[in-house]
Chains A and B, each alone.
Chain A
């Protein structure tokens, strides 16, 4: 059993003075194992986004540690974090993940270009990924000509194509209707099972969270409950 991400007493406080300080993450201890399909759930403002950003090296914690594949990233510099995110983390956000002036194919290629992946390899992976997320034939469409669900699939394909250790998705279905949302989650689940990709995603939606194999309940920046099915 491999641990992909581990947080140790992770804290992220906002605000300067005692009274106005918000504890967006408050001594959070989470271990994410390889191949897990985890949902972080909790009411608005409970700290889901904060924890995902900290795990992905997008933000620096006030205190505590984040280990990614055994490496402590909490103290890394901006440049190191940037390369870390490029090579080891896949991000999917709620919406507008894609570059509007690039086609689906070019969007999927983007991170691979940053990584310096060879053209032939890139083209191969693009094809493969488009097939995996069920978008074969739409490679030349720009995001504006894709539905919300299709755009999110391209975002998943882009994340997958860069071969990250883990994909972090912050409310990836929040802007989709529930049928499309569930279909998107099925794609993620499929990638999780068939390709052993580790996913952590946040959601409000009951139907969505029911698909997760592990639920981390958050409230006021704290982990309230961590249940594995």
Chain B
């Protein structure tokens, strides 16, 4: 009993100090939880931004295609693969694409870029192309439709309905081929690289132009029912389509840059956590010492009448443990209240482009169970550790010296 009860009552000897210490620790925990929730929200935003824009969560290519987008390295028979994907319960959507380097010219200007042949219906479930249409309309399958990025449009000095000429290379033969398109939509992704360099046409037209045959494509983009599946390399999507000629990779493998940024962002939480708790620990040590100094005479008496040094140290540790427990309760409640707001309304960011990724204007913080289990445990451990030095000090008090102190 005793020690716990005594420790508990001791907390209320100087209620103001205890409250301040509790606030210090609980605010630190709250800040840590919100930081973690923000990091999760941000990671989610980055992941969504990258996978939902164009990439998808996995892609299948011919081996070697990614090295320099060699137009000859295309998948000859997508029908078979599409068939297996449509029967795969983990797959939500998929779309075949042709990809080729092109010269795009208007009557005023000319620019280089990539022309994607896309399946309009399939892409609607997979990428943001349809949503990115700012003016005009999305592809409908009619002849000569082309969607181009707004930036490219500005460069070519064209507007909706204007005619542009696209010059492409035929697969296998290397012959040049040209076709006339009418701008049916202008796209705004918010990602400079895409807005400036990519144009989209109907895949059937693309296949004819560059002679891929009725079922040829350079890329099949895939979206999973559960986005987390992208990490699961044992999935049929990956194992079935990684062959001598084909490769099937998750977005994490396709975009190493971003996956390492995400990895690093977890260190960010760690560093912020460490700084916060270094400060909080100093606060705890300080307040524990203040409370010990006030009680030196009392501790002298307690030792004189037979209290063991260990028990006295334990008393201080229990006091810090109780402070930690109360602080965690307060911190968690506070964090839940705050994230109630930040997870629905969000934290405003302003429009920004981050490492080539468009970010929406706000971060919605994300709750995770570890925020109220793991993080508080660290807080409790750290607080109790901060109590160790004061506890050691208390256990070392020499009664004859303590008793000499006049109050």
Contact = CB atoms under 8 A, between A and B. Distances in A.
A82 B304 CA distance: 8
B304 A58 contact: yes
Interface stretch (A1-9, A65-73, A94-102, A189-197): A94-102
A114 B399 CA distance: 17
B156 to A, nearest CB: 82
A82 B306 contact: yes
Contact of A82 (B12, B301, B308): B308
B302 interface: yes
A78 B407 CA distance: 26
A83 to B, nearest CB: 7
Nearest to A90: B305
Given A101-B10, A101-B13, A111 B305 contact: yes
A53 interface: yes
Contacts of B403: 93
Interface string B366-407: 000000000000000000000000000000000110010001
Contacts of A87: 306
What band does the interface of chain B fall in when counting residues whose beta carbon is under 8 Å from A?
20 to 34
A95 B304 CA distance: 14
A79 B303 CA distance: 11
Given A58-B304, A82-B303, A113 B9 contact: no
Contact of A96 (B13, B308, B309, B407): B407
A118 B336 CA distance: 46
Interface in B282-303: 297-298, 301-303
Contacts of B9: 101-102
B235 interface: no
B6 interface: yes
Contact of B301 (A93, A102, A115): A93
Interface in B4-23: 6, 9-10, 12-13
B2 interface: yes
Contact of B305 (A85, A100, A101): A85
B305 A96 contact: no
Contact of A91 (B12, B304, B407): B304
Q: Is the interface of B mostly helix, strand, loop or mixed?
A: helix
Interface in A191-222: none
B306 A100 contact: no
B301 A83 contact: no
Contact of A102 (B6, B12, B304, B399): B6
Given A96-B297, A101-B6, A114 B13 contact: no
A53 B400 contact: yes
A99 B302 contact: yes
Given A96-B298, A99-B298, A101-B9, A85 B306 contact: yes
Contacts of B399: 58
Interface in B323-378: none
Given A59-B400, A101-B9, A101-B10, A96 B306 contact: no
Contacts of B307: 82, 86, 114
Contacts of B2: 113
Interface in A94-133: 95-97, 99-102, 110-111, 113-115
B301 A96 contact: yes
Interface in A38-86: 53, 56, 58-59, 78-79, 82-83, 85-86
Contacts of A110: 305
Contacts of B309: 78, 82
Interface in A130-144: none
Contacts of A99: 6, 298, 302
Contacts of A82: 303, 306-309
B277 to A, nearest CB: 29
A85 B304 contact: yes
Contacts of A102: 6, 9
B384 to A, nearest CB: 21
B16 to A, nearest CB: 16
A151 to B, nearest CB: 12
A102 B315 CA distance: 14
A24 to B, nearest CB: 11
**Which has the most chain A C-beta neighbours within 10 Å: B2, B302, B305, B307?**
B305
B298 A114 contact: no
A136 to B, nearest CB: 23
A114 B306 contact: yes
Given A86-B305, A96-B298, A111-B305, 6 more contacts: A82-B306, A82-B308, A99-B298, A111-B306, A114-B306, A158-B305
18 contacts: A53-B400, A58-B399, A58-B400, A82-B306, A82-B308, A82-B309, A85-B305, A86-B305, A90-B305, A91-B305, A93-B403, A95-B407, A96-B298, A97-B301, A99-B298, A100-B13, A114-B306, A115-B306
Q: Which 5 A-B pairs have the closest CB atoms?
A: A86-B306, A101-B9, A85-B306, A59-B400, A91-B304
Interface of B: 2, 6, 9-10, 12-13, 297-298, 301-309, 311, 399-400, 403, 407
